Chains A and B, each alone.
Chain A
Amino acid sequence: MASITKTAQAGTLESSDVMITVAPGNQGSGIVIELESIVLAQYGEDIKIILEKTMKEQGVTDIYIKAVDRGALDCTICARTLAALSRAGAVLKEAII
């Protein structure tokens, strides 16, 4: 099971990008997502699903994620999330990279 030790960030606020901030959650807090998006109405649920899926694939259980989305595609969201996790001290599963 992967865990993170510090707060870290990846991504930008440019159009078609997303800025992901991750911080360690208290034990048992679960995956807490705070999402801002210019396409919240159209893709809000999809973005939450991809964030949760990425966490589960990495075995991260207790984490706070803030995503400020400027219309990023799923692949971008996934890549920025993995980068943020890595910077926060998680050892990523090679299969994903």
Chain B
Amino acid sequence: MKNAIGREIPEAISGIAAIKPFSGAFAIVPEMTRQAPKVKTIKPADRKLVDSLVEVFKKIPVTDGMTLSFHHHFRNGDGVVNMVLATAAQLGLKNLTVALSSVFPVHAPIIEHVKNGVVTGLDTNYMSGPVAQAVSKGLFSKPVVLRTHGGRGRAIECGQLKIDVAFIAAPAADEYGNLNGVEGPAACGSLGYAFPDAQYADYVVAVTDYLGEYPLSPISISQTRVDYVVKVECVGDPKGIVSGTTRITKDPVGLKIAETAAKVIQATGLIKNGFAFQTGAGGASLATAAFVRKMMEKDSVVGSFALGGITGYMVDMLESGLFKKLIDVQGFDLEAIRSLATNPNHLEVGADFYASPFNAGCAVNQLDVVILGATEMDTDFNVNVVTGSDGVIMGGSGGHADAAAGAKVTIIVANLLRGRLPIIVDKVLTATTPGETIDVLVTERGVAVNPLRADLKEKFLAAGLPVKDIQELKQLAEKIAGAPKAVKTGEKIVAVVEYRDGTIIDVVRQVEG
């Protein structure tokens, strides 16, 4: 069957529960109640601190077929996932599902656990490195589920992702299970992506290498939801967890795109008091923030909040009075951690608060503008951020589709040609974010506006911006680089791409080799 953006979705996919095709960004109205975790009690003298992961596995007990969840704030410095899965393998467990909010190169040992039958399912929002490559080559016998950050929160709340045991990598904990991310050697800042896991899992285990005195404060995840605390030698490598400083690109093409994107934002008329903004940490995205900042300073604009993954640059804007608040679901650098720990206007929120579509309102809905990237975009404005030019998985939505759906104006910044490859194609290999939620594409050679947003096109033309039809931009790129041939993929479905509401927006097929 074809879904609402014309992608062919099989009626049934082995290993995936009832398939609902994507039917429009806001078409699904939920009719269900939230799932409820086990009700607990412990006696006043009971202790939660246990000596080892093996002991925790036996106490719970963890059994074959369970779903173990993890969060990704430790990024490529994470030690907890590998530690827990090694324990599972040591105890001879089989058929586990790993629900890890993002998979990084450091998680390569998962491949061996899959080959040995310890792990048979993977549920994630983003993956890169050896695991992503192995998944693309058909590592798993059932497809991996790729969600959005908000969609994962929704799936947990609605019982579609039922977690048996949540392992929280905790930079700091006390013996009674209060946790935060701003203290200890592995401080990572916000623990937001772990909030739904902690709220809804049947068992919650904190894994830490830093025990503070009871009661720990601030409390990000509280004792009322944490069953066990395990003290280990080291939860992760700080070098892989945070970067020192985030630098703005010096690439002249990137800067040109960023400057144009800032002018686009200005032309929308949204840069005024109360402005709410989200941008990424990389390439042209952060550079756009720098140009927007100049405009805000020039007109003495005080924004309402900046959202998303927080960098030192955003912290500096908060401290300079350019934004009143930061809403932080993940911190990227030491400045973000320091600010979260010390500034009451820097708010730590969960994945559900950030972006879940099925609650009484998430933060992305309050955004004026979001700046996002893309590996490919088609002439219907659908965006791919999952597969690379060779068809191999190299990313995932993360918050892409969530922020795009929520913001008043969603802007994609991308080089028209990346190396030799045109960004605009007739049909993206993998659709991640539907075109109806994308408003503008900004490239170094022109700006394309979604035909659904004639209002914006008018404003951009009036502002003298280089507005071009998306077909015209596509032809311009192909005149320089030639028309690319489509990537050939195999038949086997290696991943399903779930939209934030739980419908299937696309599937990823196996690559050769």
The residues of A with any CB-CB pair to B shorter than 8 Å are 15-16, 38-43, 45-46, 70-74
Contact = CB atoms under 8 A, between A and B. Distances in A.
Interface residues of B, number: 15
Contact of B419 (A41, A71, A74): A71
B420 A43 contact: yes
Interface in B360-393: 389-391
B482 interface: yes
Contact of B389 (A16, A38, A74): A38
Interface of B, secondary structure class, is: loop
B482 A15 contact: no
A42 B482 CA distance: 10
B484 A43 contact: yes
A73 to B, nearest CB: 6
B481 interface: yes
Interface of B: 389-391, 418-421, 480-482, 484-488
A39 B418 CA distance: 11
A69 B250 CA distance: 25
Contacts, number: 41
B485 A71 contact: no
B391 A41 contact: yes
Nearest to B484: A42
A72 B480 CA distance: 11
A40 B484 CA distance: 10
Contacts of A71: 418-421
Contacts of B486: 42
A46 B487 CA distance: 14
B389 A73 contact: no
B390, B419, B482, B484 pick with most chain A CB within 10 angstroms: B419
Contact of A73 (B390, B420, B484): B420
Given A42-B420, A43-B481, 6 more contacts: A38-B389, A39-B389, A41-B390, A41-B487, A41-B488, A71-B420
Contacts of A15: 419
Contacts of A72: 420
Nearest to A70: B419
Nearest to A46: B482
Contacts of B484: 39, 42-43
A16, A41, A43, A73 pick with most chain B CB within 10 angstroms: A41
29 contacts: A15-B419, A16-B419, A16-B420, A38-B389, A38-B419, A39-B389, A39-B419, A39-B420, A39-B421, A40-B390, A41-B389, A41-B390, A41-B391, A41-B487, A42-B389, A42-B420, A42-B421, A42-B484, A42-B485, A42-B486, A42-B487, A43-B482, A43-B485, A46-B482, A70-B419, A71-B418, A71-B420, A72-B420, A73-B480
Nearest to A39: B420
Contacts of A39: 389, 419-421, 484
B52 to A, nearest CB: 46
A16 B417 CA distance: 10
A45 B485 CA distance: 9
Contacts of A40: 390
B465 to A, nearest CB: 27
A49 to B, nearest CB: 10
A43 B484 CA distance: 6
Given A38-B419, A39-B389, A74 B482 contact: yes
